[in-house]
Chains A and B, each alone.
Chain A
Amino acid sequence: MPFDPATLGFPVELAKIPQELKKLWAADGDTKTRASLINFAVYTEGTEAFAANTHLIEEFVRDHACRAILVGYCPRVTPPKISAWIQAHCHLTKAGAKQICSEQVTLLAEGVSEEGVANALLANLDYDLPLNLWWHPEFPESASSPIWNRIDRLIFDSTNWKDRSEQLHRLHLLKAHSANRMALSDLNWTRSLAIRQAVAQCFDNPVLLAEIPAIHRIEIRHLAGFESTAQLLACWFGAQFGWNVSAHTQDSIQFQSSAGTFIECRFVASSSAGIALSSLTIVSANATLTLDREMGSALLHSRLQDSTGVSESHFSAGAESVKGLLSEEMNPGLRHKVYLKALALLQTIF
């Protein structure tokens, strides 16, 4: 989409952003309330995604009051300059009397160094609030930018990684630089959240729980392009069940349990479902659990066949949209730790 500055609000001088934001709120009197619980920065390269990201931010702030900072970095432009715009995204409260607003600052950084962009971003954070940075490009080779040790939550989508091994290496570098404060939010991992929650609920059933040592086959059907989502899901099972990777091919992983048994995990690409993960089957000695989702359905359907018969259930299929995935990531929890365990196992197949 061509870059249209009119969609970004009022142009302002970079050095005067705080004052201009104050003026923006003062002008609206008592009818609007500014709300902010986090800094939500979106870091992109170029200006092509400005309009789409502004729209996404407008939707996102309805549920997550924040200061949003949209950054577009164009390194090879001269002369170097940083242009800025500000705008407010407002929505009515339940009572309808007051509008709740979040502010968006857009920075277009042309020809400046990475450090220069980072400084401009850091200078415009809402003070004392955590920084959630959604990093769109590939990770940089070095962690020299001052931004990396200021991030509280780094959001990214590993589905887009071209060289997964290299990106993972760089991610570890950045993580090490952040002195472990930075939480990792991989949207690729969030994509499997609903299926993980559903399968976890199914394993609350003591009959199925007792079958864990007897699992010998897993099959995951995924949309073409979402192989990594399926692999992460498989490695989650491996990490949580205490399995190691013993072999792998492009469309399978063989795990080995601590008792020495082998578990075959197969990935089947499917273009028909239109859903990143459309089905999961877990087969053990005495039970078969299937979870699947049909296109257009907001539900996951489970079918458990065991020695006592067949039982079926439905679960929420969760978010598929980027906005939905981002919203999920704003919920705090212990996912980070579990993600790192799955990632560590996944790393062994790169």
Chain B
Amino acid sequence: MNQTPNSTTNPLREGLSNRSLPRPCNVVIFGASGDLTYRKLIPALYNIQADGDLPVTTHITGFARREKTDEAFREELGEALTKFSRSGRNEEVWKDFSARLHYHRSEFGDEEGYRTLAERLNKLDEEHGTAGNRLFYLSVSPSEFEGILAKLAQFGLNKTKDGSWARVIVEKPFGKNRATAHALNEMVSHVFAEQDTYRIDHYLGKETAQNIMVLRFANAIFEPLWNHQYIDHIQITAAEPMGVEARGPYYDSAGALRDMVQNHLTQILCLVAMEPPTDLSADSVRDEKLKVVRSMRLMSPEDVAKNVVRGQYASGCVGGKDVPAYRSEDRVNPESETETFVAIKVHVDNWRWAGVPFYVRVGKRLPKHGAEIAVYFKETPGVLFNAQQAGLGPNVLVIRIQPDEGISLRMQSKRPGAQLCIESVKMDFQYGTSFGKPSPEAYERLLLDAMAGDATLFARRDEVDLAWTFIDCIEDAWHKNQTPPPMTSYPAGSWGPKEADDLLAADGRAWRRL
């Protein structure tokens, strides 16, 4: 039977792409001389264009302090692209793309700079039909946020015309604790509404992170087992062999807990532990993630001493090279008490995860680069094969976030031959080889989503707030406690302090070797 179309739904949308489409806009990058712009943002926007997904009238304006012409900016970005773009640099695509790049020199606090920026964006709107849509990317230190946001508001750059939008993407660190995050949120909310604020966490843009929900909710075999009845524990690891590089001052004031756990690893934990959302809208997904953060058991100082290990790397050898201790790194306090490694036993106090610990660890100067989630299933009863051959080991489902994104499942199999000998084998799925094409970079997906108005992969204010509440308990136990737990040490190139191994050994478990 034919139906008259409902006046509020677009009947032509039926059956077409189920993702929101990016709309033409002007992207303004504050901090355009920074590393992130050259290594990630411009290569990501270029690759979006190369894939044909960048709306054709989209223009990108870099806002920074250094004196530079449009041409010089384009030339520098072109060179960076050759180094950092996943698809290399195609001259035809680059010619079209570079014509859309502009440079706007100004101090972040200079009113004239914002007045001329507004004029420039209005002109681009008129010339290219971008309809007043604006995406501001704050790739600057949080100390600059307030000044930039105030000026954007002063010159009406946060105001939308009829049917257009103005959005802001905010890079981490989003605060230093709950109080500063709250203040930062307040500051942003005075200028941009929550639905126009995109707190970026590049881990969520990674293909495997996005696949966690698909793996769990699009396959019939995992979800029935995804609970305390069948899962023994879960390990989440983010390891890197690099030291602090040029980020000494920032890192020394942040540490591994704030730099990685508050955002990336908490977000990953949420995706692993959340209940199925009612639908795939941004808020439905984020509502479920929020419930997980709310269920993460807050720790007393005694709990922190028992369930958290912090460490700092001493000198050692990584990848065959001798490397200095953390305290000897460039622009790091020689008496620093900042952790470069942290291991936490997290309890998620809800029906699904009662009694299932989540062991989370992150560290610098570890032997390998890698991030993964390992789901350890409970062992089979000690009869039949388990009775004959002790220590067969559990089934382990590993979701590799980086590098070599993919999923593997460890299971037991009979070794060929007359003797009954059982061995662990691995079923392995790799994105790179299975789909025959590389996954897009995380920033590509996230920038596209921000242009399309899809906030699913961005952190919401309440998530950030609650994640800080969890982190603050640990930070307070370390820094505001009369008898703080000791800072441990580990040689660079090792898998972290012995105390981290002891944390799991006390529960009869061990960390997975990546």
Contacts and interface: CB of A to CB of B under 8 A. Distances in A.
A241 B11 contact: yes
A335 B15 contact: yes
Interface in A290-332: 298-299, 308, 311-316
Contacts of A258: 2-4
A200 B438 contact: no
Nearest to B131: A311
Contacts of B14: 240, 334, 337-338
Which residue, of A98, A298, A316, has the highest number of chain B Cβ atoms within 10 A? A316
Interface stretch (B51-59, B252-260, B305-313, B332-340): B51-59
Contacts of B11: 212, 240-242
Q: Is the interface of B mostly helix, strand, loop or mixed?
A: loop
Interface stretch (B104-112, B114-122, B428-436): B428-436
Contacts of B419: none
Nearest to B434: A35
A258 B357 CA distance: 60
Interface string A226-252: 000000000001001111100000000
Interface in A62-87: 62-65
Contacts of A19: none
B438 A94 contact: yes
B17 interface: yes
Given A37-B434, A94-B438, A197 B21 contact: yes
Nearest to A204: B10
Contact of B18 (A62, A65, A333): A333
A334 B15 contact: yes
Given A204-B10, A258-B4, A259-B4, A314 B129 contact: yes
B57 A313 contact: yes
A65 B17 contact: no
Contact of B129 (A61, A213, A313): A313
Interface string A251-273: 00000011100000000000000
A205 B17 CA distance: 17
A33 interface: yes
Nearest to B12: A200
A182 interface: no
Contacts of A15: none
Nearest to A335: B15
A237 B11 CA distance: 9
B163 A205 contact: yes
A340 B17 CA distance: 17
Which residue, of A33, A259, A339, has the highest number of chain B Cβ atoms within 10 A? A33
B321 interface: no
B246 interface: no
B16 A242 contact: no
B13 interface: yes
A206 to B, nearest CB: 8
Interface string A83-116: 0000000010111001010100000000000000
Given A35-B434, A65-B436, A200 B86 contact: no
Interface string A192-207: 0000110111011100
A209 interface: yes
A196 B3 contact: no
A186 to B, nearest CB: 13
A323 B59 CA distance: 30
B437 interface: yes
A102 B4 contact: no
A62 B3 contact: no
Contacts of A312: 129
Interface in B407-428: none
Interface in B1-45: 2-5, 7-8, 10-18, 21, 24
Nearest to A316: B52
A263 B52 CA distance: 34
Contact of B4 (A205, A237, A242): A242
A196 B16 contact: yes
A274 B434 CA distance: 37
B435 A243 contact: no
A209 B17 contact: no
A93 B5 contact: no
Contacts of B162: 308
A62 B436 contact: yes
Contacts of A33: 433
B126 to A, nearest CB: 11
Nearest to B15: A338
A332 to B, nearest CB: 10
A344 to B, nearest CB: 11
Contacts of A197: 16-17, 21
Interface string B125-136: 000010100000
Contacts of A313: 24, 57, 129, 131
A210 interface: yes
Which residue, of A91, A196, A209, A299, has the highest number of chain B Cβ atoms within 10 A? A209
Contacts of B56: 299, 314-316
B444 to A, nearest CB: 14
A102 B436 CA distance: 9
A212 B436 contact: no
A243 B16 CA distance: 20
Contacts of A241: 5, 11
B15 A311 contact: no
Contacts of B435: 35, 37, 65
A246 to B, nearest CB: 12
B12 A196 contact: yes
Interface in A206-225: 209-210, 212-213
B129 A35 contact: no
Contacts of A333: 15-18
A98 B404 CA distance: 13
Interface in B425-465: 432-438
A95 B404 CA distance: 11
A314 B10 contact: no
Contacts of A35: 433-436
Interface string B144-168: 0000000000000000001100000
Contacts of B434: 35, 37, 65
Contacts of A203: 10, 12-13
Which residue, of B11, B18, B52, B436, has the highest number of chain A Cβ atoms within 10 A? B436
Nearest to A259: B4
Contacts of B4: 213, 242, 257-259
Contacts of A212: 5, 11
B18 A209 contact: no
19 contacts: A35-B436, A61-B436, A62-B436, A65-B436, A93-B433, A209-B7, A209-B8, A237-B12, A240-B5, A243-B2, A258-B4, A298-B52, A308-B162, A311-B131, A313-B131, A333-B18, A334-B18, A335-B15, A335-B16
Given A65-B436, A259-B4, 13 more contacts: A62-B437, A197-B21, A209-B7, A212-B5, A213-B4, A237-B12, A240-B11, A258-B2, A313-B57, A315-B55, A316-B52, A316-B56, A338-B15
Shortest Cβ-Cβ A-B pairs, 3 listed: A338-B15, A65-B436, A200-B12
